[in-house]
Amino acid sequence: MSEEKTTHFGYETVAREEKQGKVAEVFHSVAAKYDLMNDLMSFGIHRLWKRFTMEFTGVRKGDSVLDIAGGTGDLTMKFSDLVGPEGRVVLADINESMLRVGRDRLLDKGYSGNIECVQANAESLPFDDNSFDVITMAFGLRNVTDKDQALREFNRVLKPGGRLLVLEFSKTNNPLLSKAYDFYSFSALPLMGKIITNDADSYRYLAESIRMHPDQDTLKAMFEQAGFANCEYHNLTGGIVALHKGIKP
């Protein structure tokens, strides 16, 4: 069977090799105002979702952590404090603009000693096998072209017993919440994007990309197919967001 040559960019069907560039354009456009827009879009709740994620990581002093699609470094800073000077945290993002914003923010806040910043594609990570105790990916997986390949790569670079946590927008089964969420996503988000970043199209793509992302049970099955054990997920805010966790055997 020949490999599928097209994929989704939001609701648009594009050639697989085009998606990465199109996603890059979105994040080049929004990088400078990314944190502000996250606060506005989620009414600040994204901070609670990330705090919940941190509680599940089990990160300890001396651990090695990969924060992939780490963007502006929210989780990286917390991991840096937890692993201490003997630990290692890698802030990785495929997008140069996002990585630059994250690196500058970390330096401005006095973080540097145990942190590396690496431009990296989740589908082809530049790290050795069995390198990390924990990998986190917050709101990045839906932008990856080949999600199955990315999950296999995460499994490869984790140490045995290592943990993968993926925080991502997901599917709510509450009809009223779903209706309100759709109205908000396709009306309010592009308008906010236009006002704050002068870019409505990028935020329309982000809303569409959420709808095209696998639901909770599908993503859990993808974790298992990639070789993870003890896979589970936790719905947050009625399933608008879900945290998936898997362990490398």
Q: What is the CATH number of the domain that holds 158?
A: 3.40.50.150
Instruction: Report yes or no on 196 lying in a domain.
Output: no
Identify the band that residue 28 occupies on the pLDDT scale cut at 50, 70 and 90: low
Q: What domain count does the chain have?
A: 1
Over residues 204-208, the mean pLDDT reads 74
Instruction: Report yes or no on 11 lying in a domain.
Output: no
119: left (phi over 0), alpha (psi -120 to 50) or beta: beta
Sheet holding 64-68, edge to edge: 115-119, 88-93, 64-68, 132-138, 158-169, 241-247, 229-236
- Per DSSP bridges, beta strands 64-68 and 132-138 are parallel
Instruction: Report yes or no on 190 lying in a domain.
Output: no
Residue numbers of the domain that contains 92: 20-173+204-247
109 CB contacts (<8 Å, ≥6 apart)?
Answer: 77
pLDDT of residue 134: 98
pLDDT of residue 36: 58
What residue numbers does the annotated binding site for S-adenosyl-L-methionine cover?
A: 72, 93, 121-122
The pair of three-digit structure tokens given for residue 15, joined into one six-digit string: 């050639």
Instruction: Report yes or no on 185 lying in a domain.
Output: no
- What is the SS3 assignment for 34? helix
193 CB contacts (<8 Å, ≥6 apart)?
Answer: 30, 37, 199, 200, 201, 202, 203, 204
- Residue 125: closest CA among 156, 103, 82: 156
pLDDT of residue 181: 73
Instruction: Report yes or no on 31 lying in a domain.
Output: yes
Distance from C-alpha of 55 to C-alpha of 67, rounded to nearest angstrom: 15
pLDDT of residue 169: 87
104 CB contacts (<8 Å, ≥6 apart)?
Answer: none
pLDDT of residue 207: 73
What residue numbers does the annotated binding site cover?
A: 72, 93, 121-122
Q: pLDDT > 90: what percent of the chain?
A: 57
pLDDT of residue 1: 35
Q: Is the dihedral of CA 132, 138, 142, 143 positive or negative?
A: negative
Instruction: Report yes or no on 63 lying in a domain.
Output: yes
Pick from 43-47, 102-106, 243-247 the range whose average pLDDT is largest: 243-247
Query: Residue 12: which H helix or E strand, with range?
Result: strand 12-15
Measured CA angle at 198 (ends 192, 203), to 5 deg: 50
| Better-predicted residue by pLDDT, 20 or 133 | 133
Distance from C-alpha of 222 to C-alpha of 39, rounded to nearest angstrom: 30
Q: pLDDT > 70: what percent of the chain?
A: 81
Using an 8 Å Cβ cutoff, are 246 and 231 in contact? yes
Instruction: Report yes or no on 235 lying in a domain.
Output: yes
Instruction: Report yes or no on 236 lying in a domain.
Output: yes
